[in-house]
A = this chain, B = another copy of it.
Amino acid sequence: MPHAEANLRLAADLRLACQQVSRRVRFEGSQELPPHQVSVLVKLLDGPRRPSELALAERVSKPSMSRTIGGLEKCGWAVISDDPDDGRQRLVSLTEQGRAALATTRAERDHWMLRSLEGLTPEQRSLLREAAELLSQMMAR
């Protein structure tokens, strides 16, 4: 079946292309914040979260998340407060400095991507716009 082969090649090429973009964005786009911190800060944009929620969402262990949010607090990018209703639980919240640090990192990465788009035709940009939307939908499923 030639369809199956073409699909597999598409899968391989698309995966490699996305991984290459991702890798280069991370290495060349910015060195401000490490990836695991960025990922947690992004989740905190929507509002405060409990450590175990974050650990589950980030697919890391609870001790690892303890350490990560400890680092964020130490840097002044998040604050950890006690839950008044349940003494076992805690709540991690983004600070203004954290929001600013995240914005800087994101802007740097976007700028790297923007430079990669230089020289493309309007048709090529349109193609990538549609592809980005489709990929985003696929990943949301």
Q: How far is the CB of A63 from chain B (nearest CB, A)?
A: 19
Q: How far is the CB of A4 from chain B (nearest CB, A)?
A: 9
- In angstroms, Cα B116 to Cα A57, docked, is 20
Beta-carbon contacts under 8 Å, A104-125 to B = 106, 109-114, 116-117, 120, 124-125
Q: Are B129 and A13 in contact (CB under 8 A)?
A: yes
Could you write out 21 A-B pairs with CB less than 8 Å apart? A8-B110, A8-B114, A10-B125, A10-B128, A11-B111, A13-B129, A13-B132, A14-B131, A14-B132, A15-B25, A15-B110, A15-B112, A16-B132, A17-B131, A17-B139, A18-B19, A18-B22, A19-B25, A116-B139, A127-B130, A127-B134
